[in-house]
Amino acid sequence: MQTGSGVRSFLWSTSSEPPSYFFGTIHVPYTRVWDHVPENAKRAFGNADRVVFELDLLDPGTLEALASCQLLPEGRSLADVLPADLLSRLRRHLDYVRAKMSSWMTADQRGRGLYADYLFHAITGDWERKRPIWVLLMVDSLTEGDVRARGVPVLDLFLAQEAQRLAKRTGAVEQVHEQCLPLNGLNGSQVLFALDQTLRQHERIRRGAQRSGYGADDLIRHYNCGDLDAVVFSRDTAQVPPLANTSLRLSARELRLARDIDRYFRHELIYKRNHRMGDRVLRLLRANPGQSFFFAFGAGHFLGNNTVLDFVRQGGFDIEHIMATRSIPE
C-alpha cells in the first residue's frame, strides 16, 4: 500500500470551471488522519466557495433529531421489546465494559480531562430507552479501539468546524430522518436476531474465543494508505456490522436471515442514499454553475457500484479521480 501522500487519494473533481470536488471522509478522530490527507485535498477545501456535508453537524437541531430518532415510543423501554435473557446478557456486557473502560483509555484522553465514567455514560446514556438497532450500534462501538478514539472531533465534524472558522457557506444533502428511518425499518425478529448475533460476537471476544473485529485502527490504516477498497469503507458508511460473514456458526436459516439483513442495509444505507445524495448534488451544481463546491461525504459513498459519483456522471458531469501528487492551483 502507498501512503496517502503517494499516489492514491479520496479526492475527485468535476471538469467544469471552476471545478467542484468530492472528498471521502471516515468517522474517526481527525488527528489520526489529517496529516496523511494530501495537500491538494486541503487546497481544494480552501478554494471552495461552499462546503457540503451529509448532515448539518453544527446545527443543534440535527443532534436533537438524531437522539430522539433512536428512542422507543414514549412510555416504552427495552424491557418491553427484548427477551429477558437477551436483556440480562446485555446488562452483563455493559457491566464488563464499564469495568474495563479506565484501562482502555489513553493518557491523552485523561490529559484532556476525560473520565472513564463520564465516557461510559456519554456512549451508553439512556440506553434502556433506545430502539434495539441503536443498542446494537452502541454495543459495536464499545471496543477498546473505538473507546480510545473518543473525545476528538471526527474528520467530517472537524471539516465543518474549519469551514465555519473560514466563514465558508456550508450545507447538507440529507435530513436526519433519511439516515435514521432505514435503521428503524428492520422488523422485530430481524432486529432481535441482529442484536443477539452482535452481542454473541462481543461475548466471544471477551472470552478470548475470537479476535476483535474490524475496528477504527484498521479503518485508519486503510485510509491513510489511500487504499480505495469499497468493502472496507462501506462498513463505515453503513455504520452497521455485517452479520453473514462472521466467525459465528450459523444454521442455514440464520445465514439466510443474516444475508437478508445485510442486503437490506446495503440497499437502504448505501444504494438508496447514494441515489438521493447524487440527485441533490446535481441540483446544487446546476443551480450554481459559477461556484466551486467541496462535497465531504463518507468515503464509502464514492467507492464500489452505484456510487454518488456514478449518479452525478449520469447527470452529465465529467468526474475524474485526482491523484495525491497532482497540484491544484490556488
Do 326 and 8 form a contact (C-beta atoms < 8 A)? no
> Which residue from 289, 287, 286, 292 is spatially nearest to 20, judged by alpha carbons?
292
pLDDT score for 244: 66
pTM attached to this predicted model:
0.90
Instruction: State how far the Cα of 141 lies from the Cα of 107, in Å rounded to an integer.
Output: 20
DSSP 214-255: S-HHHHHHHHHTT---HHHHHHHHH-SPPSSSSSS---HHHH
Q: What is the pLDDT of residues 190-229, one digit of tens each?
A: 999 999 999 998 998 888 866 666 677 888 888 998 888 7
pLDDT score for 213: 61
pLDDT score for 154: 93
SS3 179: helix
Residue 328 lies in a domain: no
- Most distant CA pair in the chain, distance: 62
The one-letter code for the residue type at 49 is D
Residue 327 lies in a domain: no
Q: Residue 10 corresponds to which cell in the numbers above? A: 479520496
SS3 19: coil
Residue 312 lies in a domain: yes
Q: Can you state the percent helix, strand and coil of the chain, rounding each to 5?
A: 55, 10, 35
Q: Name the residue range of residue 188's domain.
A: 11-321
Instruction: State how far the Cα of 261 lies from the Cα of 5, in Å rounded to an integer.
Output: 37
SS3 25: strand
Cβ within 8 Å of residue 40, ≥6 positions away: 9, 11, 322, 324, 326, 327, 328
Work out how many domains the chain is built from and give that number.
1
Residue 6 lies in a domain: no
Residue 140 lies in a domain: yes
Q: Given CA atoms 32, 37, 43, 47 in this order, what sign does their dihedral have?
A: negative
Instruction: State how far the Cα of 114 lies from the Cα of 32, in Å rounded to an integer.
Output: 18
pLDDT score for 4: 41
Residue 2 lies in a domain: no
Residue 329 lies in a domain: no
Scan for cell 462472521, then name that residue. Answer: 246
Report which DSSP code applies to 317.
Answer: -
Residue 28 lies in a domain: yes
Which helix (DSSP H) or strand (DSSP E) does residue 260 occupy? helix 252-265
Which three-class secondary structure string do you get for 27-73? CCEHHHCHHHCCHHHHHHHHHCCEEEECCCCCCHHHHHHHHHHCECC
* Bridge pairing between strands 50-53 and 169-172: parallel
Cβ within 8 Å of residue 141, ≥6 positions away: 123
Cβ within 8 Å of residue 24, ≥6 positions away: 10, 11, 233, 297, 298, 299, 300, 301, 302, 303
The one-letter code for the residue type at 82 is L
Question: Within the chain, which residues score under 50 in pLDDT?
Answer: 1-6
